[in-house]
Structure 1
């Protein structure tokens, strides 16, 4: 059996929750399936949106970062690249908006910077999770906060092209505060699951 059953989970460096639950013996099919599942979760989170101009309020950043923490840097980033490909292909995965364009044009629009930052944000949060940041609440929060900073850096950069830096920062700030509050809650998910796994092994 995988070493997780013989040593404390807190000392398993270089592993993600997905690695442990799959005993690191997962097939390419299973890895592909979890990437697609994370992509679908991101798309579903986009549908729970409140339209604001120019940024719709969605649950996406939280879902992107949680999925990345669970899957790790590569699979987390792959899921977001697949999400962008699906959107560019015209599938209805982006947040519904009466003003923002659909398909590839969405990435060139005012919110494109947020979307394009998802793979990098997922990679960073996943990389920190691989270094055991997801085992404790505080470090789990830091890992997701690092990813959120990447999301908003990309988002503000994209908005600045049309609004200017000051207006873009002002427009993004209320959403950043709301996403930060969501991370306060979400940061406890992975450590709780790790504790549950430790008790069952």
Structure 2
């Protein structure tokens, strides 16, 4: 009989290529940080929130590493940026007063949620993959928009609903849809590739 604990431990994509160990977990978490840092530099500069490739990276890291490692990777990304590594958008460092910092916080639960769903095979099937990545793409906004409103208020700038949506949501709709579709399509394809490689090895 399959228990809830066993269900929660279903392998994610990374587990098809590396054996689980502390060393590989550390390497995968570090790789996730590097990947998010790289896509953070794919940027259309805007203020107070730039358009970047970070959200796509967050979703892919969470799905491929799983909930725990994905969340740890994004936590490490946030902490390293706060202590001075230039890994945020535009090779910048982070401060808690940065208006866009709430989105960075939101990346952590977003990676955890999509990782949790991937551990339950949502990333292997197109329809469930679309639903999982859509949910994950909304989580940074749930944290980032209230944080943005508070930051704008501290700066003495307009911070009503319309102003916050114009600054932190509306410019991201088209790009968010594109990143959502890319992520939702990439993971089922990656699983097909992994299964095909496994079948070849077994011949």
Taking structure 2 as the reference length, the TM-score comes to 0.84
- Structure 2: runs of 5 or more not aligned: 1-6, 153-158, 199-203
Q: Paired residues, what number?
A: 184
Given that 2:55 and 2:179 are in contact with CA atoms closer than 8 Å, whether structure 1 keeps it comes out as no
Q: Where has structure 1 moved over 3 Å in runs of 4 or more?
A: none
1:164 paired residue number:
160
Cα RMSD of the aligned pairs, angstroms, is 1.9
Cα shift at 1:55: 1.2
Given that 1:38 and 1:79 are in contact with CA atoms closer than 8 Å, whether structure 2 keeps it comes out as yes
Cα shift at 1:12: 10
1:60 to 54, 62, 77: 54
Matched, 1:31 2:25: yes
Q: Deviations over 1:93-140 (max 9, x none)?
A: 01128xxxx5442x3221011011111110001001111100012211
Q: CA distance change for structure 1 residues 47 and 90 in 2, over 3 Å: closer, same or farther?
A: same
1:128 to 112, 117, 124: 117
Measure, in 1, the Cα distance between the counterparts of 2:173 and 2:116.
22
- Structure 1: runs of 5 or more not aligned: 1-10
2:82 to 88, 93, 105: 88
2:194 to 192, 197, 201: 197
Measure, in 1, the Cα distance between the counterparts of 2:101 and 2:90.
14
